[in-house]
Every structure is written in C-alpha cells, then in structure tokens.
Amino acid sequence: MNLLIADDEAVIRRGLLSLDWKSIGITDVYSVANGVEAKELLLSTSIDLVIFDIRMPGFSGLELAQMVKERSMDVAVVLLSGFSEFEYARSAMRYGVYEYLLKPVSPNELMETMHNVMHRLEQKRFEQKLLSQKDEFGEKHDAVSQVNSLFVQSSNTIKSILTDIAQNYEQNISLSDLAEKYHFSESYISRKIKKETGYTFVDILNGIRLMCAASLIKTGEKISDVCEKTGFNDQHYFSQLFKKTFGCTPSNYRNENGENFPGLYEILNSKSGNGK
C-alpha cells in the first residue's frame, strides 16, 4: 500500500516521513505541503491511505475528505488536527473519515492507528470484491482466492499453510499433518495462525468447509454427500455447526429463496458462528 501525507508544517512532514512505514506494509510514501498539491496527486495517482492536516492552504483536510467521499474514491482518510471541537469531528464522520487524531500524536499511536486503518481498508476492498465477483464464483466459492485476499498481510509461511488448508479442506486435514509437512510444532503453527489472522486453525478450516457446503447445498446435493465432499465425517456435528453459523438447518437453508452465498469473511465473523 502507499500513503500520502499532506501538512503545511515542514517539521511535521519530516517527522512523519521519518517513521518506519515499511514495518506495517506501506511501501511508498508521498509528501505535499498544501491542499492543492494533495488534490492533484489524488486525482493523478492511485493512493491507498492519506494523512491530511485539517487546516492547509488551498484545500483543508475536511474539503479533501469531502472530495474523496463525493467521488467514491477508494482511499482511507485520516485527519490530524489541533482542534478538538465537536463540529470538526462531526464533519469528519459525515465525510467517511477513518480516524480523527488530535495533535500532538505519538509515533506509536499513529503507527498503530494506520495499521488498523490499513486492515479496515483491506476488509472493505475484499467485501467489495466478493460482491463484484458473485456471478464469477457461481455456485462454488474459490476458497484459495478468498483465503489469499482475506489474509493478505500474513507472513509467507502462514499464507502457504492457509492455502494448503483451502486446497485440501475436503480431506481429513489436521494440525499434526501441517506440522509434519512444514517442519514446525503443532503449537507453533496454532499460535502463528491465531496471531496473524485473529482466528484459530479450526475456525478457518470449518469456515472454508461451511462456505463450500452452503454452495453445494443450493445445488440440491444430498446432505450426506455434502458432508463427504467438504470434509465433515460426522453429519450430526455438521448439522449442528451449520445451524449455529447460519441460523437454520442445512435442509431449511436449501429451501430458502435466493442465491446469496456467504463468503469466508462473513462466516468467520458470523455472530452465531465460530468467528469473533
């Protein structure tokens, strides 16, 4: 991802530019001294994240945030301000600003905030991608594609393990199998998956299986066959887990109207399911 910093105070720009942005996945950082330059760069370059001073020559941070919203630009806006007045914060919310930070802000707080904003932007883009690709997915989700998109910030090792899970979910895959294949202990893999994704190994495996099961059920497959094809050895357990996640039995789900297949993100974050 890249970042645009716009602040008319040179000392603040230098301070922000000195931060280790690459440590949180920001590879390119642009810097401008006023709102006019910021607007020009926004309109000419594909920008992911911006940090705007709320008051700058040319255009204010709020005016730029308004432009981003009105043009439906795929940009996450963070505002820096020395003003704590409610009206500024209310305007920021109205324009879809991700965060509103008061000066002075510590480097640690800013980096943590930007890391969270990056994650929220990635989730938003992923959800939009799911919606736009619904027809392309048809009746069967591409589990590997969804895993790669959802956990894009994970390390290469965890990405490989998660891809392995997505490719082999219908088999009797276990942490023991993964530990042997990747030459790590079971506890190490378990901890790393949880730390890097926020979900457990079982959450992700069951999420993939349930996602694929839901699409198969809509095709008219027998429930017993769906279980076999998605790696569930116990039909009773499958039915319980399915109902806990989707709020209805597999049979009732089949009879519901519509072809609105849930994605992995939706299942993992289901209020009733295994997700957080």
182 and 237 within one domain? yes
Alpha helices in 55-142 (DSSP H): 61-70, 86-94, 107-132, 134-137
User: Whole-angstrom Cα distance, residue 252 to residue 49?
Assistant: 43
pLDDT by residue (tens digit) across 29-62? 999 999 999 999 999 999 999 999 988 999 999 9
37 and 154 within one domain? no
Q: Is 136 exposed, middle or buried (0-12, 13-18, 19+ CB in 10 A)?
A: exposed
The answer to whether position 147 is within a domain reads yes
The answer to whether position 228 is within a domain reads yes
214 and 149 within one domain? yes
- Structural domain including 218 reads 134-268
Query: Look-up: residue for tokens 């645009």?
Result: 4
User: Whole-angstrom Cα distance, residue 139 to residue 86?
Assistant: 48
Cis peptide before 104 (omega within 30 of 0): yes
180 and 117 within one domain? no
The answer to whether position 275 is within a domain reads no
Query: Look-up: residue for tokens 């370059």?
Result: 45
Q: What is the pLDDT of residue 1?
A: 92
Tokens of 221: 């497959």
pLDDT below 70 — which residues of the chain?
84-86, 129-141, 257-261, 271-276
Task: Provide the CATH number for the domain around residue 184.
Answer: 1.10.10.60
Question: Full-prediction pTM beyond 0.85?
Answer: no
Tokens of 136: 């392309």
Q: What is the pLDDT of residue 137?
A: 42
CA torsion, ordered 257, 136, 127, 256, to nearest 10 deg? 10
